[in-house]
A and B are shown apart, each in its own frame.
Chain A
Amino acid sequence: MGPDTTASLPNPVMSQAELLYQAQQRKDRQFRLFVGITWFVIFLFLIFLFSGPIKIDREFVANNLVFVAGGIGETIRISLLSIILAIILALLAALARLSTVPPIYALSTFYVSLIRGTPLYLQIFFFFLALPQLGIILPGLWAGVIALGLNYGAYMSEIFRAGLSSVGKGQREAAMALGMTPIQTMRRVVLPQALRFAIPPIGNDFIAMTKDSALVAATGFVHELMWRATKVGRAQFHNLEALIMAAIFYWMMTLILSYIQSIIEVRLSRGER
């Protein structure tokens, strides 16, 4: 199957194709090598900057590293809870969008329209600051989770809608012909395929959400990564160090999450389509 098996063949046509293939491979390898080298150079440059021209207070970093890093857990917690809420809302909204009952359809479109028509920043402040005026006081974490979950749910409903419509009519008919009820058809045939379709974009949204969860810091009630960084940074006039620390932590988190996502995607593509 591989190109190596044909390389030894004396067939002149095959070897020409083989040469072209190898040239392409070489080009690809070269490209990746240069990209890698450039990354490395940028890194070296940054290390140089921060070791000389830009003054970094190492003592501040050492003293506050543990405090700032302590926000990672809270960031992950709020992101996880929010994504779970978002997935549930998105799925409900997408299913409601398929409904032929006008009020259910309307509820779904109204929700999506309202959330997508207003800034996330506003929505977060609404749950922290506006609701208490009505006597509704949510614990800090939950206010953040509800705001983020509602917001991402509205955007993600489109993902689920696309996933549901990616499952062909023939699949439903085959299930019905076997005697499945509409609920069985949805649960056994349509949803598993729709979810498989939706998992990669859900992963993207989850990564985006870990970063957007920083907005919750602005309310001052959730002590996640961003809140901790700004707190120590402002208090001791070391915003530069504090924000760089937080940036590195966010970056590491998204790198790890992207890696996990790529593994899941490879798994999913196996045995499919």
Chain B
Amino acid sequence: MSSIVRVSNLDKYFGRLHVLKEVSIDVAPREVVCIIGRSGSGKSTLLRCINFLEEPSFGTIEVDGLKVEASGRGKEHRQLVHDVRLKTGMVFQEFNLFPHMSVLENVIEGPVTVKGMDRSKAIELAEQNLDSVGLLFKKDEYPNRLSGGQKQRVAIARALTMEPRVMLFDEPTSALDPELIGEVLNVMKKVAKDGMTMLVVTHEMGFAREVADRVLVMADGEIVEDEKPEKLFDKPKDPRTKALIDRYRTGGQ
């Protein structure tokens, strides 16, 4: 099967710090890939390179047929990056809802401002997505009136309303109180079931095990393991993977 996301030989330096070392991944359409690893292993940076929130230093990113070189500059490159961002939706650890806009305004902002979509059509689409994350009844509230879990579900609806080909989740439950994690994971499962291609950076081993088609383990800027979850969690090959999984087991996960 041809891949929808292909990262080839990606390097990223922060100053002298080498945070991604020739990382390559392939993601097939409708595949759910979880990326796990200790903090500082480069997993968030890898995700953020895919939609160029971080400029990779070397390598190429390919999303749905759009090939972008890390070394690219100029107008053409900026256009390519823009097009990649249209194909990718992103959900952040800290939600990053726009506090000066209501829930509905948050969700239609992208389609109306970026795509120039007709407002009424955007509202229709937004309401569908808010309904599917179970928050249509909050559409006129402002984000400060929502719980963390609700904020994150709105953020997911906001990303989905751009009708992306790929969804990127950057530790979507790490900022949440434990009792609010479940509602967000449930929405993510639903998105996966609807056939969305997903890359999920997470510490939720249970979610990775249950939902992911593949789990990538990162350590020191490299992918040290790339396996089906049942295999990875039962018989980890790399000692670093084993340590990671054990840590979460003993941590009561």
Contact = CB atoms under 8 A, between A and B. Distances in A.
Interface of A: 168, 170-171, 173-181, 184, 188-189, 192-193, 196, 271-273
A177 B85 contact: yes
A176 B52 CA distance: 9
B74 to A, nearest CB: 15
B250 interface: no
27 contacts: A168-B96, A170-B92, A170-B96, A173-B53, A174-B90, A174-B96, A175-B98, A176-B53, A178-B85, A178-B109, A178-B110, A178-B114, A178-B159, A179-B82, A179-B85, A179-B162, A180-B110, A184-B114, A188-B109, A188-B113, A192-B100, A193-B99, A196-B100, A271-B144, A272-B99, A272-B144, A273-B99
A271 B114 CA distance: 25
Contacts of B92: 170, 173-174, 177
Contact of A177 (B53, B94, B99): B53
Contacts of A193: 98-100
Given A173-B96, A192-B100, A179 B114 contact: yes
Interface in B114-136: 114-115
Contact of B82 (A168, A181, A192): A181
Contacts of B51: 177
Given A179-B85, A273-B144, A171 B98 contact: yes
Q: Which of B113, B114, B144, B158 has the most CB of A within 10 A?
A: B113
Interface string B184-221: 00000000000000000000000000000000000000
Interface string B55-97: 0000000000000000000000000001001101110101011
A271 B86 contact: no
Contacts of A273: 99, 144
Majority secondary structure, A binding face: helix
A188 B113 CA distance: 9
B233 interface: no
B27 to A, nearest CB: 18
A169 to B, nearest CB: 9
A110 to B, nearest CB: 31
A176 B96 contact: no
Q: Choose among A168, A179, A181, A188 the residue with the greatest number of B CB atoms under 10 Å from its CB.
A: A179
Interface string B135-175: 00000001011000000000000110010000000000000
Given A178-B159, A192-B100, A273-B99, 20 more contacts: A168-B96, A170-B96, A171-B98, A173-B53, A173-B92, A174-B92, A175-B98, A176-B53, A177-B85, A177-B88, A177-B92, A177-B159, A178-B85, A178-B114, A179-B162, A180-B114, A189-B98, A193-B99, A271-B144, A272-B144
A178 B109 CA distance: 9
B90 A177 contact: yes
Given A184-B114, A272-B142, A179 B98 contact: no
Contacts of A175: 98
A10 B12 CA distance: 66
Contact of B110 (A173, A179, A181, A196): A179
Interface string B10-50: 00000000000000000000000000000000000000000
A180 B90 contact: no
